[in-house]
Every structure is written in structure tokens, then in C-alpha cells.
Amino acid sequence: MRKEQTLGEVLAAKGVSRRGFMKFVAATTSLMALPPAMIPKVAAALENARRPSVIWLPFQECTGCTESLTRSHAPSLEGLIFDTISLDYQETIMAAAGHQAEEALAEAMKLNDGKYLLAVDGSIPTKDKAFSCIGGKSNYDVFVEAAKGAAAIVCVGTCSSFGGIPAAQPNPTGAKSVTEVLKEAGIDKPVINVPGCPPLPNAITGVLAQYLTFGQLPELDHLGRPKAFYGQNIHDRCYRRPFYERGQFAETFDDEGAKKGWCLFKVGCKGPVTYNACATIKWNGGTGWPVEGGHGCLGCSEPGFWDWGGFYKPLSQGQWGGWKTLGVAAAAGAAIGLASVAVTRSRQAKARQEAKV
């Protein structure tokens, strides 16, 4: 595919009908929370969009985010949109390897300096930079170098957005998010977080579509996430919510409540504190999502979800320390009580003695 080709030309060449394209545009416009009047404008902008250069850097990650995108429900319009960006460096799917790959990265950065979109997947180790290296260069150095020339940075997945699983306590590698490393390195670039473990493919393509359409990043929430995808609470949009209201809960994963599809709050669902579009867009081509599959939400699009005290611990439970800690507390209380009684009694005895004298 030539870099000069527009998206419209690419889609026509791939045999995508006008109707199919407009359906995608309508869905994307809706996902971006834009009014229906914007559909023709989005369609025109997308059709005429030129391929922006995207450099995708993987650090401490599991490739699940890439899998989420590439294995979504191909071939899809989202996939084709993804095809139409100039993905100049992506280790998982690129043909080049070794020095050739690194040369491709250097060339892409040089040719598109200040214009490329930097997609990052995975957290960055900072305790010892040597913990994760590519081509002899540490993740930290590769990222800082690439970030300097980027127009904007898209964090794909929770690891790059907030640290993710590699940052879980005790965080042996000193894993940090992209935002933290940028702050540390003194680089000021627009960052958009697309968290999730993995994120919804629609969220990734939606951000890219917005960038293709308007040349700017979407409206973000206080955690740098696009509001169009992370503006709503899972619990508020959950189809099991009526069971919560009725006080009908699954107590275990194989009881009557679980079989009847009751609320999963008591088996650790973190839906009430999670903001994502899983409940509305769903996964695997809109066929289902974890809660529909009978498992509570893990809260994977939220910072710190990996250290919330256990995936199966309900939100109303906490780290109470166990009976041993409470036993020690009770013993300490008893000791203080006995000491205070001893002091009081000795004072009383003394007063009585003095009264007698």
C-alpha cells in the first residue's frame, strides 16, 4: 500500500462497500460521542485521510494488547483502518528483524520527526534499565528518544498507561507508566491512555480514527482516557444491575445465584469502580464480555487494579490484618486496661491509707 493513498481509496480497493463504510463511520461517530450531524464530515475526513506514521514500541508487556487488536474479528473495518495507518515499527507483526528493524525505526523517526504517533504497549523498567532491552538499548532510552520526536503518544493497555502487572507490588523492576517516565525525563507531549488488559480494539481504533479525522486527540478524563470509551461506569451499564438492586447475588461461582445470572459483586466484581465500554461495546464482535461469561470485572482499565487485594475479594472487604493482628490488638488493650486498673487501685489504696492517718 502506497503511503500517499487515502483511506477511501484503500477501502475501495479492499472491496468495502459504501454502505459498509458509512455503517462504520456512524458507529465510530457515535463512539466518539459526536452528534449525528457530524457523520458526513467524519466520513469525508476519513475518506480523504492520509496515512499517518505510527511507531509502536513494546516494552514490559505480554502482547495481549496487540492480540486484542489484530485478533479482534478480522477481517473488520477496524482492521482495515489499522491497515491504513503507516505502521512503521511494530515488533510483533513486522517482517524485519534485528538490525534491519532498528534501522526501520530510526528511519521512520527521522523522516516523520515531530509528526508521528507513538503507540506504547508495556511499562518501562526504571530500577535497572538493563531489565528490558531491545537491540542493546534499554526500554527507557528507546522510549525517551522516540518520545522526543512524537506528535502525540498513545498508551495501549494498562501497563503503559498506569504501570500494570509489571508494577504490581513489590514492583521488582521499578516499572513505570509512560506519563511517569515523561515527567521524569522532562518531556512534554500529549498523552492519551487507552487502558485495559487488554483494551477494547474499538477503543484503540477509535482513538486512531479520531486522530485521522480531526488530526487531534479526543476529549480525555482525569486519567487521560478518552471519555467516549471510558466515560461510563461498568456497574451503571451492567445488564446484571437489576439483580444488585434486588439484593440477589451469586455467593460462589457455581451456586444457584451464579446459574441464574445474578450480580457478581460478592465474588469480587470491580464493576462499580471501573470505567470502560465493555458492557456496551462488548468483545469478540459484540458477542459477549467477561461479566456475561460469568466472571466479575477485574477493573483492568483502572490504575492499581493489580494491587486491590485480590480479584475475588468484594469491594466492601479490605485488608483487615487477620485474627492474629486483632488478637494482638485485643491483648494490648487488655494490658493497657490492667495497667490502668493497677495504677488506679494503688492510688485508691494510698488515699485510703492517708485518710486513716
Partner 1 sequence: MTLLEFARGPGMQWALVIFLVGVVWRLVGSFLLARNRDLSKPKGTAYAKAGVRAMIMRSIPPHELEKNIQFQHLSGYAWHLGFFATLLLFGPHVPFFKQFLGFGWPTLPNIVVLVIGGFTLAILIALLIRRAIHPVMRQISTLDDWISVFLVIIPLVTGFLSYSHVEIGAVRYETMLALHILSIEVLLVWFPFSKLMHMFYTFPSRYQVGVAMERKGVKA
Question: Which positions touch partner 1 (CB under 8 A)?
Answer: 222, 233, 235-236, 244-247, 249, 251, 265-266, 272-273, 303-304, 307-309, 314-321, 323, 325-326, 329-330, 332-334, 336-338, 340-341, 344-345, 348
Kindly list the distances between the CA atom of residue 175 and the CA atoms of 22, 193, 325, 327, in Å, as whole numbers in the listed order.
Answer: 42, 16, 31, 37
CB of 36 to partner 1, least distance (A): 26
- Rounded Cα gap, residues 176 and 131, in angstroms: 13
CB of 284 to partner 1, least distance (A): 28
CB of 126 to partner 1, least distance (A): 19
Of 100 and 344, nearer to partner 1 (C-beta) is 344
- Rounded Cα gap, residues 266 and 248, in angstroms: 10
CB of 312 to partner 1, least distance (A): 11
Of 288 and 309, nearer to partner 1 (C-beta) is 309
Of 74 and 341, nearer to partner 1 (C-beta) is 341
Distance of CA 150 to the CA centre of its chain: 21
- Rounded Cα gap, residues 165 and 175, in angstroms: 9
- In a 3-state reduction of DSSP, which class is residue 66? helix
- Rounded Cα gap, residues 166 and 177, in angstroms: 10
Q: Do you know the residue count of the chain?
A: 357
CB of 117 to partner 1, least distance (A): 29
Over its C-alpha atoms, the chain yields an Rg (Å, rounded) of 27
Per the CB < 8 A criterion, the answer to whether 8 and 51 are in contact is no
Give 248-257's long-range contacts (Cβ < 8 A, gap of 24+). Answer: 253/294, 253/295
Tracing cell 531489565 back to the chain, one arrives at 131
Closest C-alpha to 47, from 21, 80, 29: 21
Of 17 and 325, nearer to partner 1 (C-beta) is 325
Of 106 and 334, nearer to partner 1 (C-beta) is 334
- Rounded Cα gap, residues 333 and 339, in angstroms: 10
Of 121 and 302, nearer to partner 1 (C-beta) is 302
Of 213 and 301, nearer to partner 1 (C-beta) is 301
CB of 245 to partner 1, least distance (A): 5
For the chain, how long is the longest CA-to-CA vector?
A: 113
Of 100 and 317, nearer to partner 1 (C-beta) is 317
Closest C-alpha to 60, from 149, 126, 148: 126
Per the CB < 8 A criterion, the answer to whether 229 and 206 are in contact is yes
CB of 235 to partner 1, least distance (A): 7
CB of 356 to partner 1, least distance (A): 14
